[in-house]
Amino acid sequence: MVKNMDDKKLSSSVNETHQVNNNIMATAMEIHRGPLPSPEVLERYEQICSGSAERIISMAEKEASESLFERINREKF
C-alpha cells in the first residue's frame, strides 16, 4: 500500500507486505522533506528524551537565520 499526502505536504509513507515462500516480509518506509521532522517523529523524539523537540526546533530556527544572513550578505556584494 502506498499512501501519499496531498501535494502541499512533503511527507509520504510506504507500507508493503509480501508473502515469500510461506514467510511474511513487511517493509515500511517513511519520507519527510523539510527543515523539521514530521510532527509524529518530533513527538517520538520528545517521548524518548524530554526537551529534545524544543532543541530540534531551536536548531532549525538558528540554521534558517544563519542561512538568511548568508544570503543577504551575498546579495550585497
C-alpha pair distances (Å), 65 with each of 1, 3, 19: 39, 33, 49
Same domain, 29 and 39: no
> Which domain does 14 fall in, by range?
1-33
Q: pTM of the full predicted structure?
A: 0.56
Same domain, 42 and 5: no
C-alpha pair distances (Å), 66 with each of 20, 34, 73: 50, 16, 11
Same domain, 42 and 69: yes
Same domain, 28 and 42: no
Q: Give pLDDT tens digits along the chain (77 positions).
A: 334 444 344 455 566 666 667 778 888 888 888 889 999 999 999 999 999 999 999 999 999 998 888 888 888 76
Same domain, 49 and 74: yes
Same domain, 71 and 42: yes
